[in-house]
Each structure stands twice: as C-alpha cells, then as structure tokens.
Structure 1
C-alpha cells in the first residue's frame, strides 16, 4: 500500500522538471535571437558608417582634384570654381547626415550628376592646358628664333660699323714729311736759309699728302698752326670752331686731291720773331691733328 501512494508524487516532480527545462530552453533561444539581432544591427550601422566615410573621402579627393585644375588658371577657372562649390556643399550635407540608407542614396545620386559635369570640365581643362603648353612652346621657339635673329643682326651691325670705321680710317689721308725752313727774303726775291730769328722774315712750311687709292677725291682743307716759345700763334691768327673746341691757326691751305701724292708748300711771312723753340701743327677739316714738328731759331 505504501509503494502505490508514492508514484503520483514522483510523476508530479518529473512534470515540473520538464516544464522548467522547457522554459529554460525557451529563454536561452530568445536571448540568442536577441543577441543575433543586435549583431546584425551593429553590422548594418558599421557598414553604413564605413560607406559614409568612404563617400566622404571620395568627395574630398574630388575637391582636391578641382583645386589642381583651378591652379592651371585656364579659361575654365570660373566654371571649375562653381562646380567645386557644389561638391563642397554636398560634402557638408554628408557630414551633418546620419548616414542612413535613404540619405546615402540621395547624396550619391546627386554626386553622380556632379561628377559627370566635373569629368567633362576636367577633360576640357586638360585639353586647354595642353593647347596652352603647345602655344607656350611655340612662343618660346619663336622667341629663340627672334633672339637668334637679333643676335645675328647685332653681330652684322657691329661688323658693318667696324667695317665702316676701317674704311673711314683707311680713307684718311696721311700727312708726311712736315718741315719748316726759316729764310731771309731779299729784295731781288731770292730766299736765303737762316737759323737766326733776327734775320728770318719768312717761314717756308711744306708737307706731303700720301697717295691713297680708297680715299675720296676732292678738295681737302688743312689748318696749319705755328706757335712760338711764348705760346703765341704766328700768321693770320684766325680761329676755326670744331664743336666746342676753338682752334687758332696761322694759315689755311686747301688742295685738290685725286688719289695721288700731293706736295704742299706755303710761305708764312713773319716779323721780329724771337729766338727759341717753335712748334708746327697740322689739323684736318675735322680738327684732328694729322702731323706735327718743331724747330729752333737762334
């Protein structure tokens, strides 16, 4: 009788254990499901944030690309700056957004349109840049050619100037054998050489103009200057002006030159001259000293 009474109690206990086990399993399953859902949400959020960051970096790269294109300073600079401002505005919107799927989709669609316009502008800007580079190279080449031409012209001009100077120098007539002889003029007309100042009443001055085949023919004028030891000019004492220079001279001599040797002689009357050193200078029509000599009288 006692064994039969204990069976119902055991059955109830077993049933309670089964119920508790089922409840525990249900709780564990529910907790697992919650944890899995949380992981999926975290993964979705992480993925969304990663896409936002990538998109943000892409926009920043495009802004930098615009900066480089604007720096080229082509005719499209204004348009490039306008389109860059649109990208900057889109980037600011993205930074302020939550980065949800709807916003990301909206901003990416807007970016596709902006990128299409940007690609066209960048391509056109690169083409203009290439043309500018080509024009610059052509301009540089032209400048080099012009520089070479100028150098050649300068060289030719210098050569012509040197040649002209050489020809001018070659055309100058050489005055040689300048001599002065003091004489006493007698009433009969005869002239007697003397080296005494008290007896001299004429100075016979002579010089030779050398032959020069490349010199121009025509009249040549020379100014002869005779100076005594006291720096007095003998003779006519006339003055010729050469620019700002004044030349006092004793007499002027004009001859006809025909590319042949010419002997020039002139008598300079003197009166009561003193003993000492005398200096004779010959100047051409330009005032250049072409010959000089000196002599002594007792």
Structure 2
C-alpha cells in the first residue's frame, strides 16, 4: 500500500501543475479578448469609413462630371441660339422698335447665361434654373425668327407691289409718251394737211409801157418785172384767214435775190426771203397775182420762184429769159 502511494504521487502532482497552467492560460486569454475585439472593431470601422468616403467621392465625382457635361451642352446650345440670332438679323432689315428690343434682350440674356455657366460653383438647382432660362431664350429667339420671317415676307410683298406699281407707272408713262408722239404726229399731219398748196402757178416776164400798158416779154433786157399768178388747191381743213406768203427768187446763177436781210421761219428753220405779201384764203379756187420788181437788170437764164407760208412750201415755178 505504501509502495503504491509512492508510485502515484508524482502523477497527481503533475496533473495539478497542468491544471494550474491551463488556468493561467485561460486567464491570460480572457484578458486579451477585449483587445482583439477592439482591434477588429477598429479595422471594421476604418474599412467602413473608407468605403463611405470612396462611395461619396465617387458619387461627387460623377455628379461633377454630369454637371460639367450639362454645362458644355448648354454652352453649345447658347452658341446655336446666338448663331441663329445673328443669321436672322444680318440681312440689314429695317426692324421695328419691338423687334429691336427683342433682339437686345436676347443678346443680354445670352451674356448673362454665359457668365453663370463660367462659374464653377453651380449646383444642381442653379443648373436646372439655367437650363430653364435657356429654354425660355430658345423660345424667344424662335418667336423673333418667326417675326423676322413675317417682316421679310411683308417687305417682299411691299417690294413686289412697289415693282408692280413702278411697272404700271412705267407702262403708263410709256403709253402716255406713245400717245404724245401719236398726237404730235397727228398734229404735224394736221399742220401739213392745213398748209396751203398751189394748184397752179404761171410766171411771166412783163415790160411796162406808157399809159400803164404792159406786154409779156421773153427777153431779159426788156423785162421790168415778174408777174406771178397762182391758185391754191382746195383745202377744207385750212383755216379761212389772211396768210403771209413769202417769196424766194433765185436768179440763173443760183443766188437768192434779196434787197434786205429778211428772215422767216419754216418748221423751226430760219430762212431768208426775197419779198412777201398777204393773201386772203377763202378756199374758193380764185386766182392770186404777185408782181416782183426786184432786179434792176434781169439776166438771161432761168429764174426760180418759190412760195412759202409759215407752215411750209406752197409750191414753185420757173421762167426762162433769153
């Protein structure tokens, strides 16, 4: 019995020591557990914080990118609006005061919106407001374009009407000019028609004798005067009145015989004449007589006698002296 006690004592001692060690380890591990939990919590908190800031940064970055893209789109839209505004106003139209005010307001609004879009602090609300203002501006410019088009169409109608009136005036003027020319031609024809014309003319060389006797001569040296007898053709259009008859005597060598510088006008042309007399025209076919004693010594050859009124030549005749 005693030997057995001696045998088993060391074994019991060993078990007691191991239990104590295990108890100590458990106590030490119990003390370390809160630290481990704290570190785990800290790590989780750090991860959560990083994830939060990552998500927030990513969301903010995406939002900034979206805002920048929208700003670029709105600036492009402003460019289009301004180009359209320039296009419809560069045609030098005479704008009404209302259209001028609309144009000025649109350009002022464009400048204001450009200034807003250059700001980097625009938030979503301000950006939305800018978008609405651009939409309003687009509508205003659209109405302005429509008004300009209407004004242009009205101007085109006015120009067309003006051209039509000018054409009408030109046509009327041309017609009036044609009628005036026709009237002038008719008046000229009437003048010609009313002019007195000779139906017959007879020229004799006359020698004066004593006791007022006369004889017809053919010799130039014995001729004292020329007697011109003529009748006027029937003309119911000619006015019955006293007419001046101008006589032009052309001697055989072709010179006009004149004693003074007598001038008369026929169809706007001034001419010299040898002598003149007055006759009373009554369109009755009677015979008229004119005597001319101009030359002191008649020369042999052919003399030409031309009779005129202010309306033109009445006729002419010749006589040959030997």
Q: Which runs of 4+ in 1 moved over 6 A?
A: 26-38
1:169–1:289: structure 2 CA closer, same or farther, 3 Å change rule? closer
CA offsets 1:71-118 (integer angstroms, 9 cap, x no match): 443203421331132233134314523365344234234435545554
1:191–1:294: structure 2 CA closer, same or farther, 3 Å change rule? same
Residue 49 (1) aligns with residue 49 (2): no
1:82–1:153: structure 2 CA closer, same or farther, 3 Å change rule? same
The residue aligned with 2:32 is: none
How far apart are 1:263 and its partner, in Å? 2.5
Q: What aligned pairs does 1:27-176 form with structure 2 within 5 A after superposition?
A: 40-71=59-90, 72-75=93-96, 76-98=98-120, 100-115=123-138, 117-118=140-141, 121-176=144-199
Contact 1:225 1:233 in 2 (8 A): yes
The residue aligned with 1:16 is: none
CA distance in 2, matches of 1:133, 1:228: 74
How far apart are 1:267 and its partner, in Å? 2.6
Unpaired runs of at least 5, structure 2: 1-39
Contact 2:264 2:272 in 1 (8 A): yes
Contact 2:200 2:230 in 1 (8 A): yes
* RMSD of equivalent CA atoms: 3.9
1:153–1:240: structure 2 CA closer, same or farther, 3 Å change rule? closer
Secondary structure of the structure 2 residue equivalent to 1:213: coil
1:276–1:136: structure 2 CA closer, same or farther, 3 Å change rule? closer
Contact 1:283 1:290 in 2 (8 A): yes
The residue aligned with 2:15 is: none
The residue aligned with 1:214 is: 237
The residue aligned with 1:256 is: 280
Secondary structure of the structure 2 residue equivalent to 1:151: helix
Q: Which of residues 275, 279, 283 in structure 1 aligns to 2:300?
A: 275
Contact 2:303 2:320 in 1 (8 A): yes
Secondary structure of the structure 1 residue equivalent to 2:236: coil
CA distance in 1, matches of 2:145, 2:269: 72
CA offsets 1:203-242 (integer angstroms, 9 cap, x no match): 12123321112222212220113243463627x7572444
The residue aligned with 1:247 is: 272
- The more displaced of 172-181 and 184-193 is 184-193
Contact 1:197 1:273 in 2 (8 A): yes
CA distance in 2, matches of 1:122, 1:30: 56
CA offsets 1:17-38 (integer angstroms, 9 cap, x no match): xxxxx9xxx9999999887766
CA distance in 2, matches of 1:126, 1:257: 76
The residue aligned with 1:6 is: none
CA distance in 2, matches of 1:246, 1:157: 29
TM-score calculated relative to the size of structure 1: 0.73
Residue 292 (1) aligns with residue 316 (2): yes
Residue 181 (1) aligns with residue 204 (2): yes
1:36–1:232: structure 2 CA closer, same or farther, 3 Å change rule? closer
Aligned residues: 277
Which structure has the larger Rg? Answer: 2
CA distance in 1, matches of 2:261, 2:199: 24
Secondary structure of the structure 2 residue equivalent to 1:153: helix
1:200–1:68: structure 2 CA closer, same or farther, 3 Å change rule? same
How far apart are 1:151 and its partner, in Å? 2.7
How far apart are 1:147 and its partner, in Å? 2.9
TM-score calculated relative to the size of structure 2: 0.68
CA offsets 1:176-202 (integer angstroms, 9 cap, x no match): 443322132333555433221111123
CA distance in 1, matches of 2:181, 2:142: 57
CA distance in 1, matches of 2:193, 2:304: 28
